[in-house]
């Protein structure tokens, strides 16, 4: 199935010289998943909600400062390949071209809507992220912003420290919405929305409660329908409802990633933020993970995801990088993460942690695991 019939032809675009104040206003007016940035009419990049969360960016900042790169998609591209490109580009919107002409955009929502009826082949347990970053109800909005930015995530479960139970959730959308309203108040002469005061607010002033949740045994189709019904991009995964212990997070990106799983004999490896690769390349990453996996023949790896995230800190010009490796295997999910200066260093720190975690499963007998029900359904489309 290609994306020809699901291209969104109406979209928001801004010029590279557009000021941030106007970009924020367009987010408020149209509530898009992202904005296309052009330079003299030519595609230059995209701006997503996460970019708008970066702290202390002034209203007169140009759009070019905030924009990020995005893959150029051909309107006849296969839907699974587009899903892979969006995940690896770490974007929720990308431009679609007919030849050299910008014909529209493709979004995460458009892809998921197109394959929704086939997502009943997956359960939430098979694809959700279980390495959850969370905050307590005693944290501040500033701490929430720092965690969202530093970990490159879109939502944070908020946990009551006295009970260790889910109390709420705060997302990039919540913060963007608050910042937009804050700017409106300041333009009207109301200084009560001062930015510094916003950062010091208790996080429960902005968090959403009660929280929309999903159980691990529910289907991914049910979970995505729940997201669409409420206009959100992710759900908190709990064992027994919104008041129980948090076990993970399921986002639309997790679902997109599942669409890229293959049934090939060779391990399917996906890399997010490939632009950060320096002295290491995709082939070396695949080979390194394969060597770890091959030591333990009983463990069947369905999919591997490697994510790189750049921090502001640098050492002699080399940025501090966080690397996360996640394997989906016949023994469930395995992960390793680490930091280092440069992608090569960070990846090998994460790989060492991953191998230690794999060692813990060395003596476990292999269980029969989900292998391609979703792909077979997609191939029938």
Q: Identify the CATH number of the domain in which residue 350 sits.
A: 3.30.160.100
Six-digit token string for 13: 């675009």
Mean pLDDT of 186-212: 71
Q: Are residues 218 and 275 in the same domain?
A: no
Q: Which residue has the higher pLDDT, 373 or 247?
A: 247
**pLDDT at residue number 183:** 53
- Is the pLDDT at 186 greater than 80, yes or no? no
Instruction: Identify the pLDDT of residue 18.
Output: 92
Checking if the pLDDT of 343 tops 90, the result is: yes
Pick the most confident of 111-120, 179-188, 251-260.
111-120
pLDDT digits (tens, 9 = 90+) for 104-113: 999 999 999 9
Q: Using one digit for the tens of pLDDT, what is the confidence trace for 267-288?
A: 678 888 888 998 999 889 988 9
How far apart, in whole angstroms, are the C-alpha atoms of residue 43 and residue 324? Answer: 31
- Provide the percentage of residues in the chain whose pLDDT is more than 70: 82
250 & 324 share domain:
no
**Most confident option among 2-6, 7-11, 122-126, 341-345:** 341-345
Asked whether residue 375 is assigned to any structural domain, the reply reads: no
- Alpha carbon distance 40, 54 (integer Å): 26
Domain extent at residue 192: 124-256
Looking at residue 6, its pLDDT comes to 93
The pair of structure tokens assigned to 70 is 């995005």
Same domain flag for 241 and 277: no
Say yes or no: 290 and 239 in one domain: no
Please indicate, yes or no, whether residues 49 and 131 belong to a single structural domain of this protein: no
Total domains in the fold of the chain: 3
pLDDT at 243: 54
Indicate whether 101 and 174 sit together in one domain. Answer: no
pLDDT of residue 345: 95
* Mean pLDDT for all residues in the chain: 82
Distance of CA 240 to the CA centre of its chain: 25
- Residue 195 is predicted with a pLDDT of 56
Give me the pLDDT at residue 268, please: 74
Distances (CA, A) of 281 to 137, 162, 274, 360: 41, 46, 9, 28
Name the pLDDT band for 370 (thresholds 50, 70, 90).
very low
Number of residues that make up the chain: 381
Claim to verify: residue 141 and residue 224 sit in the same structural domain: yes
Those residues with Cβ within 8 angstroms of residue 183's Cβ, 6 or more apart along the chain or in another chain: 21, 24, 59, 193
239 and 158 share one domain: yes
97 and 174 share one domain: no
Is 301 strand, coil or helix? strand
Q: What is the model's pLDDT at position 381?
A: 55
Report the pLDDT value the prediction gives residue 321, as an integer from 0 to 100.
Answer: 94
pLDDT in tens, 38-79: 998 899 999 877 676 654 567 788 988 888 888 899 999 999
Does residue 353 share a domain with residue 296?
yes
What is the distance, to the nearest Å, from the Cα of residue 10 to the centroid of all Cα atoms in its chain?
A: 24
Residues 259, 110 contacting (CB under 8 angstroms): no
Q: Examine the domain organization and report whether 111 and 133 are in the same domain.
A: no
306 within domain boundaries: yes
Provide, for the chain, the percentages of residues in helix, strand and coil under a 3-state DSSP scheme, each rounded to the nearest 5.
40, 30, 30
pLDDT at 375: 52
Mean pLDDT of 5-30: 86
Predicted confidence band of residue 17 (pLDDT cuts 50, 70, 90): very high
Q: Tell the burial category of 60 from Cβ atoms under 10 Å away from its Cβ (0-12, 13-18, 19+).
A: exposed
Other CB atoms within a 10 A radius of the CB of residue 92 amount to 25
Cis peptide before 210, with omega less than 30 degrees from 0? yes
Any domain includes 93: yes
**Is the CB of residue 64 less than 8 Å from the CB of residue 23?**
no
Are 271 and 348 part of one and the same domain?
A: yes
Give the mean model confidence (pLDDT) for residues 77-94: 87
Q: What is the pLDDT of residue 181?
A: 60
pLDDT of residue 361: 61
Output 343 or 10, whichever has higher pLDDT: 343
Quick check: is 281 in a domain?
A: yes
Q: How confident is the model at residue 198 (pLDDT cuts 50, 70, 90)?
A: confident
pLDDT score of 367 more than 50:
no
Residues 2/76, Cβ–Cβ less than 8 Å: yes
Note the pLDDT of residue 364.
41
CATH code assigned at 168: 3.10.580.10
Cis peptide bond prior to 133, omega within 30° of 0 = no
């Amino acid at each position: 199935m290609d994306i020809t019939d699901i291209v969104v032809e109406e979209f928001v675009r801004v010029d590279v010289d557009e000021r941030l104040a106007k970009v924020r206003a367009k987010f408020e007016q149209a509530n898009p998943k992202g904005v296309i940035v052009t330079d003299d009419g030519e595609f230059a990049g995209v701006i997503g909600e996460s970019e708008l969360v970066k702290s202390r960016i002034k209203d007169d900042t140009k759009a070019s400062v905030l924009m990020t790169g995005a893959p150029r998609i051909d309107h006849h591209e296969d839907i699974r390949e587009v899903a892979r490109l969006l995940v690896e580009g770490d974007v929720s919107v990308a431009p679609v071209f007919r030849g050299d002409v910008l014909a529209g955009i493709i979004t995460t929502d458009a892809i998921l809507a197109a394959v929704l009826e086939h997502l009943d082949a997956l359960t939430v347990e098979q694809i959700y992220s279980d390495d959850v970053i969370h905050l307590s109800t005693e944290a501040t909005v500033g701490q929430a912003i720092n965690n969202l930015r530093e970990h490159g995530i879109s939502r944070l479960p908020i946990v009551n420290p006295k009970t260790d139970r889910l109390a709420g959730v705060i997302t990039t959308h919540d913060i963007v919405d608050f910042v937009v309203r804050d700017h409106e108040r300041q333009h009207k002469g109301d200084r009560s929305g001062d930015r510094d005061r916003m950062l010091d607010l208790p996080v429960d002033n902005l968090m959403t409660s009660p929280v929309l949740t999903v159980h691990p045994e529910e289907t991914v189709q049910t979970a995505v329908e729940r997201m669409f019904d409420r206009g959100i991009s992710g759900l908190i995964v709990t064992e027994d409802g919104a008041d129980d212990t948090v076990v993970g997070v399921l986002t639309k990106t997790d679902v997109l990633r599942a669409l890229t799983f293959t049934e090939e004999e060779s391990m399917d490896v996906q890399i997010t933020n490939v632009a950060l690769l320096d002295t290491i390349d995709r082939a070396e990453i695949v080979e390194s993970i394969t060597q770890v996996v091959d030591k333990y023949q009983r463990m069947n790896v369905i999919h591997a995801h490697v994510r790189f995230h750049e921090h502001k800190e640098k050492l002699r010009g080399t940025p501090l990088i966080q690397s996360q490796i996640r394997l989906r295997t016949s023994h469930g999910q395995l992960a390793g993460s680490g930091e280092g200066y440069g992608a090569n260093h960070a990846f090998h720190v994460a790989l060492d942690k991953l191998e230690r975690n794999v060692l813990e499963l060395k003596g476990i007998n292999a269980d029969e695991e989900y292998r391609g029900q979703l792909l077979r359904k997609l191939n029938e489309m």
